[in-house]
Copies of this chain bind each other. A is one copy, B any other.
């Protein structure tokens, strides 16, 4: 009996994004041994339907409007699952809470990085220079992987500073 559990765990662990598994989209949830339940679908919908940088509570509130029964706990749990699986990125912009973003946005709000204003906490997404960055990052990743035997799964680049509005005062 116990053995069976272990085997199941192995099966559902393999395709995860600790580097080896391919990232998968919404429909492929089940392929990893997870169930695409109503709460999980609702949370994905919220993430897919916004370009903002939502916190767990933001997401909870949005989900709550449609499905009042879904609790904050589930939101946290699901987000962790999504982050672990590579479907969602988790960011820290320096205020006390984490922000979440779909890693592959269906609406084609492609890959971007962030400018963070340390005064007003505004976040500016930018896509310029991404190509050059990507280039360097890939090179760096290869070098680092080799030198440190480190299997890189993802990276964060963020610029901090003062935005236009805050500079003007």
Seen from chain A, the residues whose Cβ lies within 8 Å of a Cβ on chain B are 18-19, 90, 92, 94, 115, 117-119, 124, 126, 128-129, 132-133, 136, 139-141, 143-145, 147-164, 167
Contact = CB atoms under 8 A, between A and B. Distances in A.
29 contacts: A19-B161, A19-B162, A90-B94, A92-B92, A92-B94, A115-B144, A115-B148, A118-B153, A124-B150, A126-B144, A126-B147, A126-B148, A129-B139, A129-B144, A132-B140, A140-B159, A144-B159, A148-B164, A149-B163, A150-B162, A151-B161, A152-B159, A153-B160, A154-B159, A154-B160, A155-B157, A155-B159, A155-B160, A156-B156
Contact of A124 (B140, B141, B148): B148
Question: Which 4 A-B pairs rank lowest in CB-CB distance, beginning with the nearest?
Answer: A149-B164, A152-B161, A92-B92, A151-B162
- State the oligomeric state as a number of copies: 2
Nearest to A91: B92
A146 to B, nearest CB: 10
